[in-house]
Structures are given as structure tokens and as C-alpha cells.
């Protein structure tokens, strides 16, 4: 059976191999990705972001459970920075999630941020397509950090959760990182901790200050209690899960889903263009040794990067400069 | 006088205007940047990164003071995420730094992360060149967050400071974010807080585990005490400042500076190529309405992003596909 058919049939091994090839930027992956594009567009993609230690993995774990109770199939994509210290994608707090490994309705994979950010964003988009084509109903994408990378999740997701915890700096963090604007749902995790009320109030004030259009969605602020009190935790997660599905319904009923799809498509096209236009030029510069010669010239200050790259453009571009 | 001469003479108004134009991607800035490239390469560039609320601005403020005492001129570049909630680059904790505004030996500017990350990295590099061409001896680049953006500072800096604070998640943060590898100096800020000793020990263990080559530099772990105790704070900052200058001396004496310069140049060339090769194609696709038509086709699933962008490449690239 062809690769894309296997993916469509939900074949876990084929999907895993394809995602690994996407991560490693293996050229053969391209053809399959082209074909599976036609099978995509059915899943609800949920981005879960927040600072490290905010408890995102625990929440993802809870959401898997809650979605399975509704008979939804689930894809989980954990986007991890790679560090030689930790060995990258395998993190202790993800072990808990592995209890779903036996459930055929759950497919969990991680992507390391090895390449450039541009490349990563493309890989995230492609990996989401794989899970979408597999027929997963909901895809949970967990990203770490507060930088541009997290803000980029909005280019892939229908619904963005921003997870905060009470304590030093989190309030500032939300403000500073520009993630306030991308949140569809705020989650105050570890809400039994000191400062949870303060954090909620601050979020509320900020939402009051921000204009919400008539057909808009005011991001709810939900709390998650102690994960060591299973009943309480489950009740909170259930509520969060409801809100996630409600947000999708809102996108559909208000027709806002069209805007999100358009933004996502535009972003994907941009990434694909970068890959098709810039990479062939870079490849030829590298393979001919021209790039090294250019670097030498620059180190000697014989010329500047801008003049050099304009020369390259004159050589390899046609009809647009 | 021409713009580049003004910059070289240290003209603050000319430099500020140029940096604003770099940030806004104004085409006229290009010619000036080309010219000032020849005047660059004399400053020590120091990246200061760490999570929001870690106290980076206070440390930068202290380092300005310490460098001025050594009669070094200082450039400060604060790389800020833009948020409509905060109005972006003007943050409360940066007010303190403004006391240096009257000192002609200090030049402080901020850059907002409005554009794409690629674009930002180019803007950061160009703004550093401006301060370098102005003749600043040391350039302090403060970045926020723990994402790819922070790791990218290594492409611009000779010396990277990673600022951590004791308390929940910071240890994990350092591990997860891949910033361990880029640190030349670790700074444990607010070292009078509970958990500072634990954090230091954990860092030390991680350094013990990581191989350091013979000519290598083992990143020192420095502590900064309470900034409300001026004497203690000043003493700690003085020590940090010494280590920063020692690191540069080490780079020079061990010849490692060549590697850093090469990496920085390679990165800059990459950014310049992206700008010269990809942007003209995108511009023509946008101005002819072709990009919109492509998005429509994708939304209807008539084709996929990869096939479309390969078509574009066949049209506009020559001699490399």
C-alpha cells in the first residue's frame, strides 16, 4: 500500500516514520506530504503553550482522557527544544502520558527544535497534517517557552490555551511575551497555590481593557486544581475540555473559522515558498564552495552581506528583480 | 554629512533614525548598512538572556555603570516582544536605565519583535552594527524569553550571559530551553532568595557532566545579591563585569574568536540571502494578487502548498533547480 494510504488508514508505524522524516527534513517525505494534504482539514487543532514548569504536560494528559471519554480520537504533538543535557524530546514529565500508548485512539509524537525556527514551524505544520490525515478528531500541540515560537502556534491552531501558574513573574510573562493576544482560553494551573486569585484578577483586568469585537470570543479564565486530588483535577479538566469544544463551535457558528483557516494556509504557503525558493540557492552555494568564499570575503571586510546577497539574487532570480 | 559618516562620528540622532528604519524595514536603510559594515568589528557584543522577571534589566543597568567606570563606552539594545497591552518596548523596569540617558558614552535603544523572527534576527544584527560603527566599546543585547529567539543571540554575541533566578521551574527552564549550551557565564540573580544554593549546585553538576575542550572556557556561575543593598550589588556586578571582559580576552588568546566571528558572519549572510532571494519573489506574488489566488486554491484543496511553491520556483529561479 502506498504511504499516503497507510497514513489515511491510521497506520501508526507509517505515520511515525513520516513524522521522523519530516523532522529530519528527508526529501522523500515531500511527496507523501503533498498527497496527504487533500485528506486534511477535519481535526480541531489545539495549541497548549506556557512557560516551562507550568504543568502543560499534566493538562495535556488530562485532556487526552477527557477527549477519549467523548469518543474522540486524539493526536498529541510535543514540540521540544533539543538539549544534549536532556537528550531532547524525552522528558520525565511526559512519562505519565505514555499510559495512553496502548490506546489505538491516541497517537503521541514529539518534534525537536533542531533546525531553524522557520524549518521547525514547517515541520510542526506537516506533522499536524499527518495526524489530521490519520483521522484524529482533536490534535493537542504542546509547545515550550514564551518566545516567538509560542506565538507561532496561532498559525497552526484553531484554539490556543495559555497556561499560567501563580508565582513570580508569570503575570509579567504573559504581558511581555505577547501571548496575551493569542490566547483563546487562559488556564491558571496549580490554582491551589498562593497568588492564584491575584493572577486571575490581573488577567480579568487585562481582558476588560482589550476590545472584543461583537462576534468575538472573550477568552475564559479557567483554573486547574491540584493534580494529586484526582476528583477535583478531573472536574476542572472536564470543564476545560468543554470550553475547548465550545470554542471550536463558536469559530464555526460565527464564521471566524474562515479567517483562521486563511491565516494558517497563508502561513503554510510562506513556509513552502521559503523552502522551494531559498533552499535550492543555498544548496548550490554550499555545494560549489561559493558560500565559504563569500564568508572569507566578509571576514576580510572586502564587501558586505547585503551587496553579496544582491549579487546572488541577480544570478539566480529571473523576472522579479 | 553622509549618514554613514554621521554614524561613525557617533551622532545619536542619526543612529536612532537608522535603527528605527532598520526596525521598520525601510529600504533606504540598506545603503547605509552596507557602508557602515566596514567600520564594524571592534565592539565586544554581550548577550543577556533569561526568563522574564529574572532581573535582566537591573543587571544591564549595573553593567552600564561598571563599564563606564572603566571608561568604556556602552551600547544597549533591548529586544522586546511587542504587545498592544503594554505598548511594547517601554517597560517599567527599564525606566531605571534612563538615568544614563544624559551620558554621551551610553546609547540605549530597543527593538520590537514585530516582524518575523528571521527579520528580527537580521534587525538585531544590523542594530548591533550601528552601535559598533558608532565606536561603542561594549554592546549589551538584552533578550526576553526562553525560545529559539534567545538561542539565536549566540549568532550575534561574543559573550552570552544566562540569567536565572531561584524558584519554581528555573532549573527545568535552563535544561529545557537549550540555553545551557549557549551560556558563557551563568548569573544566579536574587541570590538571597531561597533555593539559590540548590540552583547553583544543579548548574555545577550539569557543567561537570558536559565535556569542555582543552582550550575551552568553563562557564563561571556568578551570583548577584539584592539590588536594594547597593554595596553588595555593586560588588557582585563588578565581579560579573570582570568575568565578561575576561571571557573576551580568553576568546582572543585562545583564538576561539575566529570561530565566533565566522559563525556570526555565516548567520548574517544567511539572513541577507533570505532577504535578497525570497523577498523579491514574495513581493511580486503579493503585488500581482497571485498569492491570494494561491491561497484560494489551497483552501479549496485544489492543490497543496509544496506543489504550488515548486511551480513558483520554476518560474523565478534560474540555474539552480
Give contacts of B147 with chain A, Cβ < 8 Å.
81, 144-150
* pLDDT of A94 higher than 80: no
C-alpha cell at A181: 493576544
pTM for this predicted structure: 0.75
Q: Based on the domain organization, do B191 and B95 belong to the same domain?
A: yes
pLDDT at B49: 86
Are A96 and A216 part of one and the same domain?
Answer: yes
Q: What's the grid cell of residue A43? A: 481535526
User: Looking at CA atoms only, how far is residue A22 from chain B in angstroms?
Assistant: 13
Nearest CA in chain B to A182: B83
- The distance of B69 to chain A (nearest Cα, Å) reads 32
pLDDT in tens, A95-111: 566 678 788 999 999 88
By C-alpha distance, the chain B residue nearest A34 is: B304
| In-domain check, residue B170 | yes
Tell me: do B234 and B280 sit in the same domain: no
Q: Is residue B11 in some structural domain? A: no
Q: Is A149 within a domain?
A: yes
User: Quick check: A211 contacting B, CB < 8 Å?
Assistant: no
The answer to whether residue A273 scores a pLDDT higher than 90 is yes
For A173-207, give one letter per residue: b (16+ CB within 10 A) or e: bbbbbbbbebbbbbbbbbbeeebbeebbebbeebb
Helices (H) and strands (E) in chain A, counts: 13, 7
Q: Reduced to 3 states, what is the DSSP secondary structure of residue B112?
A: strand
- The more confident residue out of B32 and A169 is B32
**Averaged over A161-185, what is the pLDDT?**
69
- B positions 90-149 inside 8 Å of A (CB): 91, 113, 117-118, 120, 144-149
Q: Are residues A212 and A76 in the same domain?
A: yes
Task: Give the other-Cβ count within 10 Å of B263's Cβ.
Answer: 14
Interface check B313 vs A, CB under 8 A: yes
* Mean pLDDT, residues A269-288: 91
Any idea what the CATH number is for the domain that residue A141 is in? 3.40.50.300
Domain endpoint, select from A232, A257, A282: A257
Cβ separation of B269 and A165 shorter than 8 Å? no
Q: What is the mean pLDDT of chain A?
A: 84
Cα–Cα separations (whole angstroms), residue B316 to A265, A319, B280, B310 = 22, 6, 10, 10
Tell whether A8 is covered by a domain.
Answer: no
The answer, yes or no, to whether ipTM is higher than 0.90 is no
How much is the pLDDT for B185? 96
Q: Is residue B14 part of a domain?
A: no
- The H or E element that residue A111 is part of is strand A106-112
Q: pLDDT per position in chain B (321 positions), as tens?
A: 689 999 999 999 999 999 999 988 888 898 999 999 999 999 999 999 887 678 888 899 999 999 999 999 999 998 875 543 333 334 444 556 667 878 899 999 988 755 444 467 788 999 999 999 999 999 999 986 545 555 678 889 999 998 888 875 544 454 545 566 788 999 999 898 888 898 888 888 878 877 777 778 999 999 998 777 889 999 999 999 999 999 999 999 998 999 889 989 998 998 899 889 998 999 999 999 999 999 999 999 999 999 999 999 999 998 777
Out of A145, A265, A310, name the one closest to residue B147 (CB).
Answer: A145
Q: Which of 234-253 (B) contact A at CB < 8 A?
A: none
CB contact under 8 A, A177 and B271: no
State CA A169 to chain mean position distance: 24
Query: Is the backbone of residue B45 left (phi > 0), alpha (psi -120 to 50) or beta?
Result: beta
Residues B304 and B192 both lie in one domain = no
> B145 and B245: one domain?
yes
Q: CB-based contacts of A14: which residues, under 8 Å, 6+ apart?
A: A3, A6, A7
Confirm if B195 and B229 have CB atoms less than 8 A apart: no
Q: State the smallest CA–CA distance between residue B181 and chain A in angstroms.
A: 8
The region that residue B47 occupies, defined by phi over 0 for left and psi between -120 and 50 for alpha, beta otherwise, is: beta
Q: Each residue of A111-166: pLDDT tens digit?
A: 875 544 446 778 899 999 999 999 999 999 998 654 555 567 888 999 999 888 88
pLDDT at A40: 94
Specify the pLDDT at position A319: 78
Same domain assignment for residues B244 and B312? no
Residues A282, B270: C-beta atoms closer than 8 Å: yes
Q: How distant is the Cα of B282 from the closest Cα of chain A, in angstroms?
A: 8
| DSSP state for residue A263 in the 8-state scheme | H
- End-of-domain residue from the set A231, A257, A283: A257
Instruction: Return the C-alpha cell found at B314.
Output: 520554476
Among A144, A167, A294, beta carbon nearest to B176: A144
Q: Which residue is closest to A210 within chain B, CA to CA?
A: B85
**pLDDT reported for residue B269:** 93
pLDDT digits (tens, 9 = 90+) for B152-207: 788 899 999 988 888 755 444 545 455 667 889 999 998 988 888 988 888 888 78
A202: Cα separation from own chain's centroid = 26
Structural domains in chain A (count): 2
Three-state DSSP class for residue A196: helix
C-alpha cell at B193: 532568595
- Nearest Cα neighbor of B244 from B157, B146, B133 is B157
- For residue A181, the chain B residues in CB contact (below 8 A) are 83-85
| CA atoms of A207 and A202, how far apart (whole Å) | 9
A301/A290 Cα distance (integer angstroms): 17
pLDDT for B297-321, tens place per residue?
999 999 999 999 999 999 999 877 7
- The answer to whether B309 contacts A269, with C-beta atoms less than 8 Å apart, is yes
Q: Is residue B261 part of a domain?
A: no
Q: Are residues A253 and A274 in the same domain?
A: no
- Cβ of B175 within 8 Å of Cβ of A86? The answer is yes
Supply the pLDDT for residue A145.
Answer: 55
Considering the domain architecture, whether residues B222 and B281 belong to the same structural domain is answered as: no
Closest-CA residue of A relative to B318 is A316
**pLDDT tens sequence across A235-249:** 999 999 999 999 999
Helix (H) or strand (E) holding A187: strand A185-188
A272 with B309: Cβ contact below 8 A: yes
Residue of chain A with shortest Cα separation from B37? A304
**Are B276 and A316 in contact (CB < 8 Å)?**
no
Q: Of A231, A211, A209, A233, which is closest to residue A223 (Cα–Cα)?
A: A233
Domain span including residue A276: 270-316
Residue A272 has pLDDT above 70, yes or no: yes
- The pLDDT, as a whole number, for residue A135 is 97
Q: What is the pLDDT of residue A95?
A: 58
Cell digits for A87? Answer: 537528550
At residue A271 the predicted structure's pLDDT band, cuts being 50, 70 and 90, is confident
- Across the interface, do B272 and A306 touch by the CB < 8 Å criterion? yes
Looking at the domain assignment, is residue B262 inside a domain?
no
Domain stops at, among B232, B256, B280: B256
A152 and A281 both lie in a single domain: no
In this structure, how many other beta carbons lie within 10 angstroms of the beta carbon of residue A18?
Answer: 27
Same domain for B199 and B52: yes
Question: So what's the pLDDT on residue A83?
Answer: 40
Residue B3 covered by a domain: no
Bridge partners, residue B161, by sequence: B48, B185
- A280 shares a domain with A190: no
**C-alpha angle B42-B46-B50 in degrees, rounded to nearest 5:** 165
Describe the crossing of helices A290-299 and B257-273 by its angle, rounded to 10 degrees.
Answer: 120
CB-based contact A281 B280, cutoff 8 Å = no
pLDDT at A28 over 90: no
Amino acid at each position: 500500500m502506498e504511504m499516503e494510504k497507510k497514513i489515511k488508514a491510521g497506520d501508526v508505524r507509517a505515520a511515525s516514520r513520516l513524522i521522523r522524516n519530516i523532522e529530519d527534513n528527508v526529501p522523500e517525505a515531500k511527496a507523501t506530504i503533498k498527497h496527504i494534504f487533500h485528506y486534511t482539514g477535519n481535526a480541531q487543532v489545539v495549541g497548549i503553550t506556557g512557560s516551562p514548569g507550568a504543568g502543560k504536560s499534566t493538562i495535556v494528559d488530562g485532556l487526552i482522557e477527557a477527549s477519549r471519554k467523548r469518543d474522540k480520537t486524539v493526536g498529541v504533538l510535543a514540540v521540544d527544544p533539543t538539549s544534549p543535557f536532556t537528550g531532547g524530546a524525552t522528558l520525565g514529565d511526559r512519562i505519565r502520558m505514555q499510559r495512553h500508548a496502548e490506546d489505538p485512539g491516541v497517537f503521541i509524537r514529539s518534534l525537536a527544535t533542531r533546525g531553524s525556527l522557520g524549518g521547525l514551524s514547517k515541520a510542526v505544520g506537516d506533522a499536524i497534517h499527518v495526524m489530521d490525515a490519520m483521522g484524529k478528531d482533536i490534535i493537542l500541540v504542546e509547545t515550550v517557552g514564551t518566545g516567538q515560537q509560542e506565538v507561532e502556534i496561532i498559525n497552526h491552531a484553531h484554539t490556543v490555551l495559555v497556561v499560567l501558574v501563580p508565582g513570580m513573574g508569570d503575570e509579567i510573562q504573559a504581558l511581555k511575551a505577547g501571548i496575551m493576544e493569542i490566547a483563546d482560553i487562559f488556564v491558571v494551573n496549580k490554582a491551589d497555590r498562593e497568588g492564584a486569585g491575584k493572577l486571575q484578577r490581573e488577567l480579568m483586568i487585562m481582558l476588560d481593557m482589550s476590545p472584543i469585537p461583537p462576534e468575538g470570543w472573550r477568552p475564559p479564565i479557567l483554573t486547574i486544581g491540584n493534580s494529586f486530588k484526582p476528583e477535583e483535577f478531573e472536574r476542572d479538566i472536564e470543564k476545560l475540555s468543554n470550553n475547548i469544544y465550545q470554542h471550536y463551535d463558536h469559530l464555526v457558528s460565527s464564521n471566524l473559522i474562515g479567517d483562521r483557516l486563511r491565516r494558517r494556509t497563508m502561513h503554510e504557503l510562506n513556509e513552502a515558498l521559503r523552502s522551494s525558493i531559498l533552499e535550492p540557492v543555498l544548496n548550490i552555494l554550499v555545494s560549489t564552495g561559493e558560500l565559504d568564499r563569500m564568508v572569507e570575503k566578509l571576514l576580510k571586510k572586502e564587501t558586505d552581506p547585503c551587496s553579496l546577497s544582491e549579487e546572488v539574487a541577480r544570478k539566480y532570480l529571473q523576472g522579479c528583480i
